[in-house]
Amino acid sequence: AQSVTQLDSQVPVFEEAPVELRCNYSSSVSVYLFWYVQYPNQGLQLLLKYLSGSTLVKGINGFEAEFNKSQTSFHLRKPSVHISDTAEYFCAVSSTSNDYKLSFGAGTTVTVRA
Site string for other proteins, 23-42 (x = CB under 8 A): ---------x---x----xx
Binding of other proteins by 104 (CB under 8 A): yes
Which of 28, 53, 54, 100 touches other proteins (CB under 8 A)? 100
Backbone angles phi, psi at 28, to 5 degrees: -95, -5
Alpha-carbon distances of 39 from 25, 26, 45, 97, rounded to whole Å: 24, 27, 9, 31
State whether residue 41 is helix, strand or coil: coil
Binding of other proteins by 46 (CB under 8 A): yes
Which of 24, 27, 72, 94 touches other proteins (CB under 8 A)? 94
Cα angle: 50, vertex 56, 57; to 5 degrees: 50
Looking at the Cβ atoms of 15 and 24, the one nearer to other proteins is: 24
